[in-house]
Amino acid sequence: MTIGEWLDTRTPSPPAELAVVLRGELGPALALDAALLGEESLAAAERLLARALATGCRERAQAVVLLAADALVTYAFEAAAEEPDKLGERAAAAVRRLSRLAVIVPPTAPSNGGAGRAAA
């Protein structure tokens, strides 16, 4: 089974717009053996998250990108659960890997000066 075929087995299926982002980011990895799902999904999530953080995550349109990154991390953990004795190690490695993105992309101040917040 390939990664693409494995994605086809997910129920419920992701919404169409989300599926397009998931498959687009996985790209050629869709043809790889599903045994590589954990690493390929995590790598794709990392790329999506890095791009979203680099642009500040301020646009509504980026919501689908963040949802796709979340779904890909979930898929990586579904794959990791196939080997429960290695799950803790893989989880720790994934957290280290994704948390490095916070160091690479420093936080920025909100650009709207607090507009849109409820008055106290």
Parse the chain into domains and list their residue ranges.
3-104
Tokens representing residue 62 in the block:
């980026």
pLDDT in tens, 23-51: 999 999 999 999 999 999 999 999 999 98
pLDDT in tens, 85-105: 988 888 898 899 888 887 655
Backbone φ, ψ for residue 118 (5° rounding):
-70, 140
Q: In 3D, which of 55, 72, 80 has the Cα closest to residue 18?
A: 72
pLDDT band with cut points at 50, 70 and 90 for residue 108: low
**Cα 11 to Cα 8: distance, rounded to the nearest angstrom:** 8
